[in-house]
Amino acid sequence: MDFLINMSEGTQFAIQLVIVLLCLLYGARKGGVALGMLGGIGLVMMVFLFHVAPGKPAIDVMLTIVSVVVASATLQASGGLDVMLQIAEKLLRRNPKYISILSPLVTATLTVLCGTGHVVYTILPIVYDIAIKNGIRPERPMAATSVSAQMGIIASPVSVAVVTLTAYLLGADQHLANFDGYVDLLKITIPSTYCGCLAIGIFSWFRGKDLDKDEDFQKLISDPAQKEYVYGSTASLMGVKLPKSSWTAMWIFLGAIAVVALMGYFSWLRPSFGPEGKVKPLSMVSVIQIFMLLAGSIILICTKCDSAKIAKGDIFRSGMVAVVAVFGISWMAETMFTVHTPMMKGFLGGIVQEHPWTYALMLLIVSKFVNSQAAALVAFVPLALGVGVSPAIILAFAPACYGYYILPTYPSDLAAIQFDRSGTTHIGRFVINHSFIIPGLIGVFVSCVIGYLLTGMYGYL
């Protein structure tokens, strides 16, 4: 295989890029842990055929995912998540007319608090029930809810995406003046995310035909059996008296998040380590890992939660799939892009610097390939920094790491379609014309615009 090594760098890069893309496309098609495992094929070909030194997998990212997922899964198993959902449901049911605007904001908030968008599965049936019982086209709030749940990830103080992006920006050779990390990132991403979710809600309020004017829907419910199925039983936590232990679990979890946020803002609260002259506060990556494990432990002890239930919940299973995906993808991407960074800097650096929006577009596409915001950041941000993209641009366009709404293959989107018994939330004949793509494009575009404006306002641009 010496002829592969003797090829020009451009030819080698083209072949390796095709290998990576094929692994990503096939892995995404198979779903689940396949996306991460397919990285092994790319690694074998690059390391043993092209003699490329293997890069480093994103260990810190994976460990942070594990710690956050364990804490969130323990919250779910203890009933603490049900308390949050019950509070959210009360707000939504008191204002059913505004469900299309409120549901994306409420769901994004749940994601911000829990650090994972997988909380959406439990609120989707509630959103559908409120919409259909009040004569509102379910597609409006259902699609908006699914998209906004994922948008909240980049605004969460305990999400892997936020920690990952903060670490890259702090470690960049071209350091942003007055950017101290964690909280400075959140003051950009939180308002930009909520503006994006609000834009989705406003659009969704008017989208599609009203149910009484929708011929397909009226034809569907003309059959008594189908009408009973569509309007079905009520999904609700209203009136359910949750035990005190569930409330205790919620407050423990929220308390841990508050402590993490405070330590991010006040670095002097963190212990410092290092040799004399190079003493630095404990990194926020370690802080989140420690306090998420602590939160899970205290919930387990104080609520007498059945530990066997933790690994059986949706949050735990989805989180572990994400770990495998980040492991394979980050290792493969790191291996390929590191060796070709100098060449790509000469080829792409000028384009991205002259047209900064191209960075956001490329990050969006990478996110679709890997179906993970953290994995997209791990795969693309080091390359972007290597080719000369300004850290300020990376900060401004942080919301562009969510692009897996482009095709309706993500579990939360599929769940929204499944829970919508009216059939209004759908995948179109041409696949690309589905219920989530326009809300996704609107939300990410508005978030990026607001993020860009805020980045300039804070003096980073």
Is residue 235 pLDDT above 70, yes or no?
no
| Element containing residue 259 per DSSP (H, E) | helix 244-265
Q: Is the residue at 31 inside a domain?
A: no
| Element containing residue 280 per DSSP (H, E) | strand 280-281
Angstrom distance (rounded) from CA 233 to CA 129: 8
321-357 pLDDT, tens digit each: 878 877 887 788 778 877 776 776 666 656 777 788 8
Overall average pLDDT of the 311-318 stretch = 82
Banded pLDDT at 31 (limits 50, 70, 90): low
State whether the Cα torsion 417-418-421-423 is positive or negative.
positive
Residue 137 · residue 161 · CB < 8 Å: no
103-155 pLDDT, tens digit each: 999 999 999 988 888 788 878 889 999 999 899 999 999 999 999 999 999 99
pLDDT of residue 14: 84
Angstrom distance (rounded) from CA 196 to CA 208: 20
CA angle 208, 213, 214 (to 5 degrees): 60
Angstrom distance (rounded) from CA 238 to CA 93: 9
pLDDT of residue 152: 95
Cβ count within 10 A of residue 59: 12
Q: Is the residue at 66 inside a domain?
A: yes
Structure tokens at 150: 């994922």
> Mean pLDDT, the chain, as a whole number?
86
Overall average pLDDT of the 48-68 stretch = 84
Banded pLDDT at 24 (limits 50, 70, 90): confident
Stretch among 297-311, 366-380, 393-407 having the lowest mean pLDDT: 366-380
Banded pLDDT at 265 (limits 50, 70, 90): confident
Overall average pLDDT of the 308-333 stretch = 82
pLDDT of residue 383: 81
Q: pTM for the full model?
A: 0.81
Q: Is the residue at 43 inside a domain?
A: no
160-188 pLDDT, tens digit each: 889 889 888 888 878 887 887 778 999 99
Banded pLDDT at 318 (limits 50, 70, 90): confident
Token match 């508005």: residue? 446
Is residue 224 pLDDT above 80, yes or no?
yes
pLDDT of residue 349: 59
The total domain count for the chain is: 1
Structure tokens at 271: 């212990």
pLDDT of residue 410: 78
State whether the Cα torsion 109-115-117-118 is positive or negative.
negative
Residue 319 · residue 65 · CB < 8 Å: yes
DSSP classification of residue 281: E
Banded pLDDT at 252 (limits 50, 70, 90): very high
Overall average pLDDT of the 265-278 stretch = 85
Q: What percent of the chain shows pLDDT beyond 70?
A: 97
Rounded to 5 degrees, φ, ψ at 272 are -110, 145
Residue 65 · residue 160 · CB < 8 Å: yes
- Rg over alpha carbons for the chain, rounded to the nearest Å, is 23
Overall average pLDDT of the 297-323 stretch = 86
Q: Is the residue at 341 inside a domain?
A: yes
Q: Is the residue at 20 inside a domain?
A: no
Overall average pLDDT of the 219-237 stretch = 84
Structural domain for 191, as ranges: 55-457
pLDDT of residue 260: 87
Overall average pLDDT of the 402-409 stretch = 85
368-397 pLDDT, tens digit each: 877 788 878 887 888 888 878 889 999 999
CB within 8 Å of 184: residues ≥ 6 apart: 178, 458
Is residue 202 pLDDT above 90, yes or no?
yes
β-bridge mates for residue 281, sequence order = 272
CA angle 383, 386, 392 (to 5 degrees): 90
